């Protein structure tokens, strides 16, 4: 009799199923990005609003809990309105000054080309080669897509805020056992607290970097220093790439604005010093073990979500990495992935302690 084939180990089958499931989930995330991106942004904004509401209840004496959520929504709306006003007030002037710098930009391109030893086209020639009319369609599509995404985010946010009151009842139905319910709520609180700490840390450090950069650019006389400071603050939420752009872009425009190069060199050194101090002294003291995500994982998360969801994915890459690590740490079969994602090999207690305080303010 011919020898029978040995059976395939069950572990190999499970690993193959996991790989196929990951590929399938990645395909779904990419193909449904138009639907999932606004939803993820809405959840992100909802976490921010919920954090504002809890801060009002915990830090403001005798603040009525029932008014915390409406006050947080109004405060968030004021913040977004202020952001829109800053962009509208400065973006037009910034674009107009770019055309005024065209002669200096042509001269700068010519000097760089002379050092390299190649023939340099003027700015007008480069614009003609780019064919602005052909690019007008994609630009209009991009603006339309941004408006559509913003509208969907507002719709999702409204429904999420309306349905948040039933979260605890849904949890009770999904996890009838008190122990399972306690663990599920603890995991959610851990994810929420991690995202809130990330928001707080990035907001404070980004504000410090933006204010210091604004002071340096204003002292050196760079035009639109307020706009540049605001742009640096927004870019601080994008890991790695945001900080690099914030350091390099203003000195490049300083080369165009000023005749000499020393202001651009001083500006580059000043912005680099501010980022170095904040990134290596202030940020580690604030961050501690709050995120506990490996830096390589943050870089890979930035690349992955940037490919999947574009610029919104880059903004959400770190919170999504924190969320994935917290969820994977609760399953013994996937805990090894959470260990690899963590910074110190301790992604969290697989049997978390019961959370303190309410899960949602006002729920």
DSSP string covering 246-304: HHHHHHHHHHHHSSSSHHHHHHHHHHHHHHHHIIIIIHHHHHTTSS-B-HHHHHHHHHH
pLDDT digits (tens, 9 = 90+) for 8-21: 456 677 667 767 87
Average confidence (pLDDT) over 34-52: 87
Q: What is the model's pLDDT at position 72?
A: 87
Q: Is residue 190 very low, low, confident or very high in pLDDT (cuts 50, 70, 90)?
A: confident
Q: For residues 259 and 335, give the distance between their C-alpha atoms in angstroms, rounded to a whole number.
A: 58
- What six digits make up the tokens of 209? 């970097």
Band (266; pLDDT cuts 50, 70, 90)? very high
> Picking from 252-261, 273-282, 354-363, which range would have the lowest pLDDT averaged per residue?
354-363
**3-state secondary structure (DSSP) of residue 342:** strand
Tokens read off for 314: 């880059």
pLDDT given for residue 352 in this prediction: 42
Domain layout of the chain by residue ranges: 31-89+131-165
Q: Which residue has the higher pLDDT, 285 or 195?
A: 195
pTM tops 0.75, yes or no: no
Among 46-60, 64-78, 124-138, 319-333, whose mean pLDDT is lowest? 124-138
What's the confidence (pLDDT) of residue 165? 72
pLDDT value for 214: 92
pLDDT digits (tens, 9 = 90+) for 194-215: 788 888 888 888 889 999 999 9
């Amino acid at each position: 009799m011919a020898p029978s084939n040995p059976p395939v180990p069950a572990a190999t089958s499970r690993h193959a199923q996991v790989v196929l499931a990951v590929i399938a989930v990645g395909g779904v995330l990419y193909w449904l990005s138009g639907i999932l991106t606004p939803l993820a942004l809405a959840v992100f904004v909802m976490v921010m609003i919920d954090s504002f509401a809890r801060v009002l209840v915990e830090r403001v004496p005798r603040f009525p809990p029932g008014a915390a959520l409406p006050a947080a929504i109004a405060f968030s709306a004021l913040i977004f309105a202020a952001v829109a006003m800053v962009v509208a007030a400065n973006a037009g002037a910034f674009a107009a000054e770019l055309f005024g710098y065209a002669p200096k930009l042509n001269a700068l391109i010519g000097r760089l080309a002379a050092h390299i030893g190649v023939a340099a086209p003027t700015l007008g020639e480069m614009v003609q080669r780019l064919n602005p009319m052909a690019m007008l369609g994609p630009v209009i599509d991009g603006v339309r897509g941004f408006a559509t995404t913003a509208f969907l985010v507002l719709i999702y946010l409204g429904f999420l805020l309306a349905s948040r009151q039933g979260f605890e009842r849904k949890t009770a139905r999904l996890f009838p056992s008190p122990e399972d319910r306690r663990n599920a709520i603890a995991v959610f609180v851990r994810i929420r607290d991690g995202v809130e700490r990330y928001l707080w840390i990035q907001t404070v450090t980004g504000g410090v970097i933006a204010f210091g950069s604004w002071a340096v650019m204003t002292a050196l006389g760079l035009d639109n220093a307020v706009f540049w400071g605001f742009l640096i603050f927004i870019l601080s939420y994008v890991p790695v790439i945001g900080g690099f752009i914030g350091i390099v872009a203003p000195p490049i425009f300083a080369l165009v604005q000023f005749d000499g190069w020393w202001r651009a060199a001083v500006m580059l050194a000043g912005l680099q010093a501010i980022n170095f101090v904040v990134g290596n002294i202030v940020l580690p003291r604030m961050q501690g073990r709050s995120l506990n995500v490996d830096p390589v994982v943050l870089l890979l998360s930035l690349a992955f979500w940037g490919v999947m969801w574009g610029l919104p994915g880059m903004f959400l890459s770190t919170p999504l990495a924190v969320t994935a690590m917290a969820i994977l740490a609760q399953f013994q079969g996937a805990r090894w992935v959470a260990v690899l994602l963590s910074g110190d090999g301790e992604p969290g207690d697989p049997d978390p302690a019961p959370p303190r305080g309410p899960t949602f303010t006002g729920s």
